[in-house]
Amino acid sequence: MRCSTKLLAPLLGVLAVGAILMSGCAPASAGDPAADKPTVKEPVAAPSVAPSPSATSESDATTSFLAWLTASRVPEVDEACAPLAPDLVDRMLAEMRSDGFPEVSTCEEMITVSAELYRAFDQSAEVDIDVQSETASDAVLFVTYLASGDCGTVVMQRPASEWIITEQTEECA
């Protein structure tokens, strides 16, 4: 399959939802299971307010996003599709169709094709996540893929017990 940078950039940016998105770090060996697991590099800038004593290094929304990112790379389609809002999936599928993937019509197909592209192009899942805001029911994360600098704002809501990545999620311009 022939893929141009123009074709991959929008697809990968959206899936990173970060987008979704990146160029590889130093490649890990093919047999290394850690190679497919996303990692978080803590932001370099010091926080503007001191964290509360109960704060952890990874927020609840961050943990949820990383679980989605891992599932999207394996791929584990049920786990990768479950936290995506239907309107976000529709937008991502429309972008894939406009980028030359007319045969991709479901979230499951989208995740599978994307995971294959990540592997084929040895794309790193190492990210920097800056929690811009988080409450018990809403979160905004700024996600940057370290190797490429691709980034996006991930908007999440938790209407019940699980976080949902909403259609307000956007790639950096």
Encode pLDDT of 81-107 as tens digits: 999 999 999 999 999 999 999 999 999
- The rounded mean pLDDT for the chain is 76
pLDDT 10s digits, 3-41? 333 333 333 343 433 333 222 222 333 444 444 455 555
Please state, in angstroms and as integers, the Cα–Cα distance from residue 15 to each residue in 21, 161, 167, 170, following that order. 7, 23, 12, 10
- Determine the topology of domain 5-24+58-171 in CATH: Nuclear Transport Factor 2; Chain: A, (3.10.450)
Pairing of strands 151-157, 138-145: antiparallel
Q: List 144's β-bridge partners, or say none.
A: 128, 151
Cβ atoms 155, 166 nearer than 8 A: yes
Q: Does residue 67 carry a pLDDT above 60?
A: yes
pTM for this one?
0.69
Query: Where do the structural domains in the chain lie, given as residue ranges?
Result: 5-24+58-171
Report residue 155 as tokens: 């908007």
